[in-house]
Amino acid sequence: MSQMQCPNQEMNLGDCPCTYTSCSLRGKCCECLKSHLSRKELPACCFPPEVEKTYDRSFARFIATWS
């Protein structure tokens, strides 16, 4: 996957709740979302911190969390 430069990356990093800090997509929200959706999951920003830390980013976990 070709990664593009993001003009908002530094600003996005300030709000990124992802605890996987070595990810090359941190702060590149469009690329992050595209990557997660390709694996049928959602990015960290869709979950509260206690759920995000489990790394279960499945649609089922999203529905269970917010139902």
pLDDT of residue 14: 93
pLDDT of residue 29: 95
Residue 4 falls within a domain, yes or no?
no
Residue 33 falls within a domain, yes or no?
yes
Please give the Cα distance from 31 to 39 (Å, whole number). Answer: 13
Q: Which residues pair with 41 in a beta bridge?
A: 58
Residue 2 falls within a domain, yes or no?
no
Considering its fold, how many domains does the chain have in total?
Answer: 1
Q: pLDDT tens, 6-61?
A: 899 999 999 999 999 899 999 999 999 999 999 999 999 999 999 999 999 999 99
Residue 1 falls within a domain, yes or no?
no
- Long-range Cβ contact pairs of 30-39 (< 8 A, separation 24 or more): 30/6, 31/1, 31/3, 31/4, 31/6, 35/1
Residue 4: is its pLDDT beyond 80?
no
Structural domain harbouring 22: 9-66
pLDDT of residue 2: 54
**Side-chain-side CA neighbours of residue 37 (13 Å):** 6
